[in-house]
Structure 1
Amino acid sequence: MKRRLYNNLIRLFLVSIYAIFISGILKVTLLEVVGFKPPINERSFWISYLILFNLNTEFNYYLDKYLNNHLPWFFNNTKRVILQFSCMILSTLIIIGIPFVIWYIKIGQSLSYPISTVILFITFLIFLLNFMGIPVAINFHRQMQKYSLEVEQLKREKLKADYKVLQNQVDPHFLFNNFNVLIAEISYNPDKAIEFTRKLSKVYRYVLQSKNHDLIEVDQELQFIKSYIYLHQVRIGNALNFSLNVSDAALNKQLPPLTLQILVENAIKHNIANDKNPLNVSIQSCDDNTLIVKNNLNPKSELHSTFTGLSNIKSRYELLKKEGFSVEQNLSHFTVRIPLIEE
């Protein structure tokens, strides 16, 4: 309460200083030229002007606060500008212009020059718009920053939610399929079943740990992908071929976790993989700052893609302010370029 009162007094003081300064300029430069004669004594006229100027400024100050709640800058800038400055002009006409004109008419005073009242009003209006324009501009900047931060936060929260959904998607069918494979391997190949269990454990450990990281080293992601591919190869057999060729320099760079898993999973999910139509997936470094994930195309005709995984990866790179993520598709291959990030 005290803080608000203090701020109001400071604002009234500054407005009064500004009004006195402007009135001095008008008196010296303009009013003597147009022959303006106040309808009351000069001191009473300028005191009245000072009061009305403060009243007009306060009206526009609270108008600005009201519009912040009911018509924020972020949603309709054009409408806000038109409405706010129209109200400024109208309030100046009503609070400052009309009272003095009525005052003149009431006491039967005449003007040395008929245009003087108009000039006086326009001058007051110009100075008021300049004065009010400063806090309005500051408020506009603050409002835009506030809403930009809120939108950015909402994007991050949505992305985190989408990311968790993608992480959870690794669980159900993938888990059940691998348990079935594991049961079969235990019966026919116990040694291979042990290795399969180790790889499965590595995959889920990585998925759980990745929830705590925005970025992870390429080397760690590739170790995870090797285990992930191995599980699918045990299930699919020779129908899935995987090649890896990444430079040592690229291994030390970073990327969003599970990026490669999403791309490999999409390739397996959306393409036929059998002895007649093997699926070939490759990961290689184009240079030390880019990975290329590529697979041949033999799409499953009945499967419809929502592109959720690709959209998530793209959004994560946008939030990281990192350009270079791209998707290319032709008749034979599907290729994704992934920009790498310095530590």
Structure 2
Amino acid sequence: MDACDRRMILNEARDIVLLIMAGLVMTFTGLGCRDCAFNSKIFWIISSFSSLIWVVLWKGNDYIGSYISRKISWLHYPVKRFFIGMVVTIGFSLLAIYLLSTTYNAIFDINISQNVYFPMIITIIISLFLHGRAFLMNWRKTSVDAEKLQKENIMAKYESLKNQVNPHFLFNSLNALTNLVYEDQDKAVKFIKQLSEVYRYVLDTREKEVVPLEEELRFLRAYLFLQQIRFGNKLVVEIDIQNDSEIRIAPLALQMLLENAIKHNVVSEDDPLLIRVYTNSHYIIVENNIQKKAMLGEPSLGVGLENIRKRYEFLSTTRVEVNEDQSRFQVKLPVLTGAAA
């Protein structure tokens, strides 16, 4: 038994002792029994009954309330949770009082029903308080979780910009441009234009949570133009997406997935890298053939993919799916709809 279990048992024992004392005090002060002062036997019978009633009603309703909260969320169904909790509390309390009263009446042959009204009223009042308290605590926890998720989303977007549009990409692009200037000046001019489009898109979308899919695809084609200048026919990208003005996507998500595919796989004339981008009714899918590089140094920790997951947890109830087998790596982004942020 660990320290947490011992502390829980001690707390339960403390609560039971306090409830027994409450029953004794109620009987002693005459609140639970008008005849107890004249008969010590009746006093102890009523005291045991009152203490048992307090323990059964309070602890029983506490356990039942916790069970209902696990089954019916305060966050999603607050009114339903409150009314079901109150109905079950009152129903359990009436049943417990009836069974205990009947048992005591049969054993001790006295009418004990007059002693149940006060604990019943107190139980209902305290139950209302506890249900309200549980609602407020769950509401506060939900607010804290939502704030935490929002902060994680902001950090994920920052990390995606920092990690994906990084100095290595700019260095490789300028390196390719240096060679291109001597070989084909017209293509070099187009290369510069596409490079400016890439960075303009990054600046335009840095404050947005989602963008229209068509804008992301326009940016992706500019990015791919730069990559294919570098890799030529060694990189093959197939985009098969029907135009739909309602579809939204997290900005830079597709670029990040393509960058990961290029980063972690061999791209050569003998082994060209094939990347497909397409949609079905529920997902935007990016997949590539697997031909992994021999990684030097520490292995990849999947930070970019984790950033995408966190961003989509903030945007959608549908999770990002990642599937991998011996020949294919696939990432499925949930389709988002609605106005762009």
Decide: shared fold, TM above 0.5: yes
CA contact (8 A) 1:279 1:295 kept: yes
Query: Match of 1:292?
Result: 285
Q: Give how far 1:200 is off.
A: 0.7
Q: Give how far 1:109 is off.
A: 4.7
Query: Match of 1:190?
Result: 185
**Ranges in structure 1 where 5+ consecutive residues have no aligned partner:** 1-75
Residues 340 and 180 from structure 1, CA distance in 2 versus in 1: closer, same or farther, beyond 3 angstroms? same
Residues 266 and 112 from structure 1, CA distance in 2 versus in 1: closer, same or farther, beyond 3 angstroms? same
Residues 80 and 151 from structure 1, CA distance in 2 versus in 1: closer, same or farther, beyond 3 angstroms? farther
Q: Normalized against structure 1, the TM-score is what? A: 0.68
Query: Match of 1:119?
Result: 49
Residues 108 and 281 from structure 1, CA distance in 2 versus in 1: closer, same or farther, beyond 3 angstroms? closer
Cα distance per residue 1:157-186 (max 9 Å; x no partner): 022112201101212111111122222222
> Larger radius of gyration, structure 1 or 2?
1
Q: Give how far 1:329 is off.
A: 1.3
Cα distance per residue 1:231-290 (max 9 Å; x no partner): 1111122211111111123x5411111110111011000001011111111112234x43
Equivalent residue in structure 2 for 1:278, among 272, 279, 283: 272
Query: Match of 1:219?
Result: 214
Q: Give how far 1:133 is off.
A: 2.3
C-alpha RMSD of matched pairs (Å): 3.0
Structure 1 window deviating more from structure 2 (127-136 vs 277-286): it is 127-136
Structure 1 window deviating more from structure 2 (239-248 vs 308-317): it is 308-317
Structure 1 window deviating more from structure 2 (177-186 vs 265-274): it is 177-186
CA contact (8 A) 1:244 1:282 kept: yes
CA contact (8 A) 1:217 1:255 kept: yes
Matched, 1:178 2:173: yes
Alpha-carbon separation, structure 2, partners of 1:211 and 1:339: 21
Map of 1:162-177 to 2, 5 A cutoff?
A: 162-169=156-163, 170-177=165-172
Alpha-carbon separation, structure 2, partners of 1:179 and 1:305: 25
CA contact (8 A) 1:295 1:334 kept: yes
Query: Match of 2:146?
Result: 152
Residues 213 and 102 from structure 1, CA distance in 2 versus in 1: closer, same or farther, beyond 3 angstroms? closer
For the residue of structure 2 that corresponds to 1:302, the secondary structure is: coil
Alpha-carbon separation, structure 1, partners of 2:40 and 2:227: 95
CA contact (8 A) 1:255 1:340 kept: yes
Residues 136 and 191 from structure 1, CA distance in 2 versus in 1: closer, same or farther, beyond 3 angstroms? same
Alpha-carbon separation, structure 2, partners of 1:139 and 1:102: 30
- Matching residue's letter, 1:186: V
Cα distance per residue 1:194-243 (max 9 Å; x no partner): 11111111111111222111111110000011011111111122211111
CA contact (8 A) 1:92 1:125 kept: no
Alpha-carbon separation, structure 2, partners of 1:210 and 1:217: 11
Residue identity (%): 26
Q: Give how far 1:138 is off.
A: 1.3
For the residue of structure 2 that corresponds to 1:248, the secondary structure is: coil
CA contact (8 A) 1:163 1:312 kept: yes
Residues 80 and 213 from structure 1, CA distance in 2 versus in 1: closer, same or farther, beyond 3 angstroms? farther
Q: Which runs of 4+ in 1 moved over 6 A?
A: 79-82
Alpha-carbon separation, structure 2, partners of 1:100 and 1:252: 70
**Ranges in structure 2 where 5+ consecutive residues have no aligned partner:** 54-115
Query: Match of 1:47?
Result: none
Query: Match of 1:36?
Result: none
Equivalent residue in structure 1 for 2:230, among 232, 235, 247: 235
